Structure 1
């Protein structure tokens, strides 16, 4: 090996540029975030040739004093932190002070700025790593940064740039995410001299939702829940899409921590678990969520491009996110979107701790007076009743006939189609219900409610099972032994990397005990919590509910159909079956008129 020597500053900056600047969109990110930190309320981004020829970012922020312009393009010079304490409480988008130095080392760079209250602006240029002296220039209060011929002196990096359309698409996506983060800032984007995007300042919640609709699609507001919940020093707000508005790809997921867009495995795991019971297999939820917490509770200095963060209380954040979203989704019921979202002209609102929605007395009066059975009987239901120490029974549905006055959200039944679908009329038009999927969700929720009782049984293994695990998983078994025992899984640490299983939940008899234990401990070791046991039990209960629900081909009377509708309105998550498929569809009178070309 050759002798150790110091690297020249130009090479140091180019190495730093390789960490921070992946493509033109990375440059735009650094420059726009600097504008936001400068207090800008209007940011214009001009792009040429997908960013390869020109990237110009102009803002109306506080500006940079002429004496500080050379420092602005120096390595690790910043006005945002000055001590270790500042680093632990970072509230700005940028803080390392390496962005402009890195960008200027791989481009032809110019910085023009004017401080508010000063008569003149000043401009500095950097070419080939050489800084020229500041000179007067014309510029309104604020700052403009021009980056020309990106990677002109690093041909190898330039070869990795994609087509112009692809690079601009990345810039467009980046500006969308920043526009969602800062609704009080106006953003303008142009490409090759042509305006592409204009996001006006959103001064109220409705305007902010309109900006969300411009990014996620015009249909998102009517198919989303408004979240606004605070607890334990955490505040979560934003919008989450309904399960029926899921997407094939995870391309509409925006999560912000103190205004910073992040991709975090703790967050992803919590959201995935919250949707686990209502999302169709292979589908992805759409959401725009903002998490606010004390800056000291999150470390943003873990990734060169600041894409990732690390929470100091990971389990607290995970459980807060999961419970908030889980409770919000649990309170969605069939007919709720029609009765609330359409009338409000926007998304459903779930604030604070959600509470069950009671069935109006006029609709439930008959349900209290009599019970009507669909005659559903199946052995799995009887087996489950035995596990809970109850006597087998049929699955009842409450009889509910039409009452005078306002129609309920799902209306009143008028017919049955092909012994599969229930047709009902409500105030908005026609309702179509898949009777098996709807009754399956109703039965499933009742089985889960029964499981939550204290009389859930567990089963002792005839021979305790010894399992080899990792040292981290063995430590998790020791730490969470009491919590696992509450779920009926009794295991203990028997060595540095081994455990012994003595008892399992009775519902999971016949399961692969070794694999089950490893899965549970792996999640506990990684996330500090696990729902693997509950997910397996839910899968079994879902199968029972499917067998114990009214099947296609069964003729129902009008009272039975009305009873099904009333149960749907009172049951959590009844908008989807256990597998995430929709249970009902609304066709408005306007949509029906359009089918028959009425009014044309």
Structure 2
């Protein structure tokens, strides 16, 4: 006797329309992932409303209370119920989803928040009375009169009370509060003309977490002041101005010197048409721009703004609007890489001021409980006598020539050599300590790269082409960049079907297997939209050649050699850091040195 199949049922599933409350809760799961998501949506609404002051207050990491107060245009009594309806917005004048000039446009945030929390909106437009509306679990109360001088106050209490399962996935109050701070910081960077305050009012307190007053002045001046407030003075003092344009796309912002790097990517802020985004392609382009001046375990710091016609970028990729898709991602990536590399090259030999600050901090004399005078020293201490053998000095002094070298050069004039490795130079305002090996390594490396750019990369022809079988889509990806690979010495061509023939490889790489290289290139294309693999490997070899061909540590140098090295550093881009991103020199101001010895 055959048993009935448990997967077959006589009853057919019935298709039904979800009710409004369920629809809003589903939408809220996409738009409002955590309290920081709610803050993002509400603060962006305030920016779109033309606010000049925005105050954000949160309690218990935003779980129990989020309050956003702004002085924007406000909403009328008729607008309030409509604002709580799904897909109702004032920010999309037509039906063109690419013609977007505001943060919001989907009309989902407020109804989603009202579906998972207790939402109250109080608002007033100019020359009218204030009104209030409340919604709890998608149940909207009637509009009522209220008291408010101007703008809008949005209060969200007990977030996710209607979906308690979501609360189990929340992190600690401290972690959620930090996520809110990060969201507010990013929006504040994009809007330096708006004043922002973020306060923690947990348990009736009122602790200021972040305050950024409105900045005045031109674009770059206002942005520089806002970044100084939000990222810190060290970043602002060591950041390079970025301003580049290509094919209608403009890149602006500030990027830090390579010697001001971080152990993670926490100080990387990217914006597209003023919107904070997290995009793998953009972050990959930023990493590629610093590829030649930072080691793999260090990360650059930057705040970069990409502005373009809204039709060139799609921000409607995800309800959270943190992802974007460019019509021509290659142009954007190339603009970031070339714009940053040009700025780094323009910086020349400049190194970050934090390097000198770290040196001075390490040189601080240890406090002593009491001064020790010569007469208080123990009698057993040996006193050097003439004729006794003494330790050879480690300082190699330069005999002063009849006409001393100029000290007005940025890196000064060489005065000596310490431990046959460090050049001591005197400048007009202080002194410079140069790592002779690291500095010369960078100089040789830059010369090798210049020769490669002028003469190209030598290719090694294979006697028998290596045939690599790949999926059709991956073959198309590789063949699309075949010309770029050929300039780097890797020659590929189609071999029929889903195969690629590798006919030459870069000679500098020696004998290599082509298949693993092609697969690594494909992985990089999938991750960042571009591949720097071959160039990176060639640069690594040039870097090793430069290391072996540079002045070695322990070599005593003559005065003219030291000064020649200093002059060449001043004329060579990127000479402020070695091939691994470490500083090649430290500059100490005379005032800082005098402070060490208490002479101020």
Using structure 1 for the length normalisation, give the TM-score.
0.86
Gaps of at least 5 residues in structure 2 are 1-11, 358-400
Cα 1:189–1:335 change in 2 (3 A) is closer
SS of alignment partner, residue 564 of structure 1: helix
Name 1:255's counterpart in structure 2.
Answer: 270
- Cα deviation per residue 1:73-98 (whole Å; 9 max; x = unaligned)? 1111111115432x111111011101
Structure 1 residue 159, shift from structure 2 partner: 2.3
Question: Which residue matches 1:380?
Answer: none
Task: Give unpaired runs (5+ residues) of structure 1.
Answer: 343-399
Distance 1:170 1:483 in 2: 41
Distance 1:402 1:581, change over 3 A: farther
* SS of equivalent residue, structure 1 residue 443: helix
Question: What does residue range 159-558 of structure 1 map to in structure 2 within 5 Å?
Answer: 159-192=168-201, 193-204=206-217, 205-335=220-350, 407-454=408-455, 456-523=457-524, 529-558=530-559
Do residues 10 (structure 1) and 25 (structure 2) align?
no
CA pair 524-155 structure 1, distance change in 2 beyond 3 A: closer
Partner of 1:388: none
Alignment of 1:21 onto 2:21: no
Distance in structure 2 (CA, Å) of the matches to 1:495 and 1:516: 20
> What whole-Å deviation, never above 9, does each CA across 1:453-479 have from its counterpart, x for those lacking one?
246532211111011223222113333
Distance 1:326 1:496 in 2: 40
Please, which of 130, 141, 153 is the counterpart of residue 132 of structure 1?
Answer: 141
The alignment partner of 1:495 has SS state of: coil
- Pairwise CA distance, 1:189: 1.4
| Structure 1 match to 2:364 | none
- Go from structure 1 to structure 2 and tell me whether the alpha carbon gap of 1:8 and 1:256 turns closer, same or farther (over 3 Å shift): same
1:315-349 Cα distance to aligned partner (Å, 9 max, x none) = 111111111111211233224778xxx9xxxxxxx
Partner of 1:123 in structure 2?
Answer: 132
Deviations 1:335-371 (A, max 9, x none): 4778xxx9xxxxxxxxxxxxxxxxxxxxxxxxxxxxx
Q: Could you tell me whether the CA contact under 8 Å between 1:336 and 1:409 is conserved in 2?
A: no
CA distance in 2, matches of 1:269, 1:210: 27
**3-state SS of paired residue (1:452):** helix
Residue 526 of structure 1 deviates from its aligned partner by 6.5
Deviations 1:154-183 (A, max 9, x none): 211122222222221111111111111100
Q: Deviations over 1:528-572 (max 9, x none)?
A: 643222211111111111110010010001111111111111111
CA distance in 2, matches of 1:287, 1:152: 39
Deviation by residue 1:496-541 (Cα, 9 ceiling, x = unmatched): 4321111122222223322223333554577664322221111111
Instruction: State the Cα distance separating 1:403 from its structure 2 match.
Output: 6.7
Alignment correspondent of 1:571? 572
How far apart are 1:113 and its partner, in Å?
A: 0.9
In 2, are the aligned partners of 1:110 and 1:147 still within 8 Å (CA)?
yes
Q: Deviations over 1:387-406 (max 9, x none)?
A: xxxxxxxxxxxxx9977766
Task: Give, in whole Å, the separation in 2 of the partners of 1:15 and 1:535.
Answer: 45
Distance change in 2, residues 1:407/1:337 (3 Å): farther
Q: Which residue of 2 aligns with 1:147?
A: 156
CA contact (8 A) 2:407 2:426 kept: no
**Aligned alpha-carbon RMSD (Å):** 2.1
Q: CA separation in 1, counterparts of 2:252 and 2:41?
A: 26
Q: Per the alignment, in what secondary structure is the counterpart of residue 244 of structure 1?
A: coil
Is the partner of 1:329 in helix, strand or coil? helix
**2:152 aligned counterpart, secondary structure:** strand
Distance in 1 separating the partners of 2:478 and 2:224: 45
Which residue of 1 is the match for residue 388 of structure 2? none
Among candidates 108, 126, 134, match of residue 118 of structure 2: 108
Alpha carbons of structure 1 residues 556 and 66: separation in structure 2 relative to 1, 3 Å:
same
Superposed CA deviations along residues 175-223 of structure 1, whole A, max 9, x for unmatched, are: 1111111001011111112333221110124453232122222211121
CA shift at 1:293, angstroms? 0.5
